């Protein structure tokens, strides 16, 4: 069985300009160093607005920081007449490791479909960027009891067209929409139910090896007070943290979950 390195990723959403980003990354690094964070044991990443990435690259490279970084979206196009799009080639040149794909806010406000999510995931992988593929149901679907089925259909859509080798490199984030920014955390058992089902679906679509290799994160009001219990579940490999990632001290505490006995 593969050992999956946990990943704690902070999704800054539309917060922090490029100057604030530099400060935030330096503060996070300082706090994690102070806590003797082991980056080999738990990966830490920030997903920043596009306009921050060049500045983040500079601090990370100049100071040799262990923090990784990524974008919150990526284009499925490489170049051409696509006004406003950001190419995977450009992102790769900025040293990004990750790109979030299909976040519920992009699905909701920008009409992103499963087909687009699949195309963006493929484009990222083609350029050596790991897509963090976001899936998860809204409250009405959860109340109707169709959350597993709904989320697995999003997984089917996102992975359509990815080979087994490509699929094995991805990260999936299960983010129930009703738990995002609401303070409402899914219970560890709720999260495990869906995340276990996602891993099961990857085994069906590909193989047990692929299912074993993919890291599946939970996202939705993650805090230092909830991460330890979430991480105790067998299929949860980390967190995609929104609001709490804007507070460097709190985010560092979340990344330090493994130190809590």
Ligand X SMILES: O=C(CO)COP(=O)(O)O
Residue with the CB atom nearest ligand X in the bound state: 242
- What does the per-residue mask of binding to ligand X show for 81-120, with x meaning CB under 6 A? ----------------------x-----------------
The least distance separating ligand X from the CB of residue 33, rounded to whole angstroms, comes to 24
Q: Applying CB under 6 A, does 222 fall inside the site for ligand X?
A: yes
Per-residue binder mask for ligand X (CB under 6 A), 149-178, x = binder: --------------------------x---
220 scored as a contact of ligand X (CB under 6 A): yes
Tell me which stretch binds ligand X (CB under 6 A): 86-94, 203-211, 225-233, 237-245. 237-245
Q: Give the contacts of 20 (CB within 8 A, at least 6 positions apart).
A: none
Number of CB atoms found within 10 A of residue 83's CB: 4
- CA-to-CA distance for 147 and 141, rounded, in angstroms? 6
**Which of residues 244 and 248 has its CB atom nearest to ligand X in the complex?**
244
By the rule CB under 6 A, 70 interacts with ligand X:
no
* Residue 238 in the binding site for ligand X (CB under 6 A): no
Q: Using only C-alpha atoms, what is the Rg of the chain?
A: 17
Contact 55, 24 (CB under 8 A): no
Number of residues that bind ligand X (CB under 6 A): 14
Q: CB neighbours of 197 closer than 8 A, spacing ≥ 6? A: 148, 151, 152
**Within 179-218, which residues bind ligand X (CB under 6 A)?**
180-181
DSSP, collapsed to helix, strand or coil, labels residue 195 as helix
- Structure-block tokens of residue 31: 């706090």
Spatial separation of the C-alpha atoms in residues 197 and 93, rounded to whole Å: 36
Q: Using DSSP bridges, classify how beta strands 171-174 and 130-135 pair: parallel, antiparallel or unpaired.
A: parallel
Tell me, yes or no, if 233 is annotated catalytic. Answer: no
Instruction: Determine the Cα–Cα distance for residues 158 and 169; give it in Å rounded to an integer.
Output: 14
Calpha distance 129→72 (Å, rounded): 12
Residue 13 marked ligand-binding: yes
Q: Is 242 marked as a binding-site residue?
A: yes
Among the listed residues 105, 112, 166, 175, the single catalytic one is 175
Q: Does 175 qualify as catalytic in the annotation?
A: yes
Residues annotated in a binding site for substrate: 11-13, 181, 221, 242-243
Residues of this chain that interact with ligand X (CB under 6 A) are 11, 103, 175, 180-181, 219-222, 240-244
Catalytic positions? 103, 175
């Amino acid at each position: 069985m593969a050992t999956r390195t946990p990943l704690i990723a902070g999704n800054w959403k539309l917060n922090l300009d490029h100057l604030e980003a530099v400060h935030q990354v330096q503060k996070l690094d300082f706090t994690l160093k102070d806590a003797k964070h082991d980056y080999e044991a738990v990966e830490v990443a920030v997903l920043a607005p596009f306009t921050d990435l060049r500045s983040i690259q500079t601090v990370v490279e100049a100071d040799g920081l262990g923090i990784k970084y990524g974008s919150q979206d990526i284009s499925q196009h490489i170049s051409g007449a696509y006004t406003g799009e950001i190419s995977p080639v450009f992102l790769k040149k900025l040293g990004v490791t990750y790109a979030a794909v299909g976040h519920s806010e992009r699905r909701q406000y920008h009409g992103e479909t499963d087909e687009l999510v699949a195309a963006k995931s493929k484009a990222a992988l083609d350029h050596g960027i790991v897509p963090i593929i976001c899936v998860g149901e809204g409250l009405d679907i959860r109340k109707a009891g169709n959350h597993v089925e709904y989320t697995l259909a999003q997984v089917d859509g996102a992975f359509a067209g990815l080979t087994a080798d490509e699929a094995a490199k991805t990260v999936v984030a299960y983010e129930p929409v009703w738990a995002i920014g609401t303070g409402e955390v899914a219970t560890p058992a709720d999260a495990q139910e869906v995340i276990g089902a996602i891993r099961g679906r990857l085994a069906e679509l590909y193989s047990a090896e692929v299912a074993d290799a993919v890291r599946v994160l939970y996202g939705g009001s993650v805090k230092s007070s909830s991460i330890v219990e979430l991480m105790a579940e067998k299929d949860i490999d980390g967190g995609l943290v929104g609001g709490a990632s804007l507070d460097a001290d709190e985010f560092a505490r979340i990344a330090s979950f493994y130190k809590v006995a």
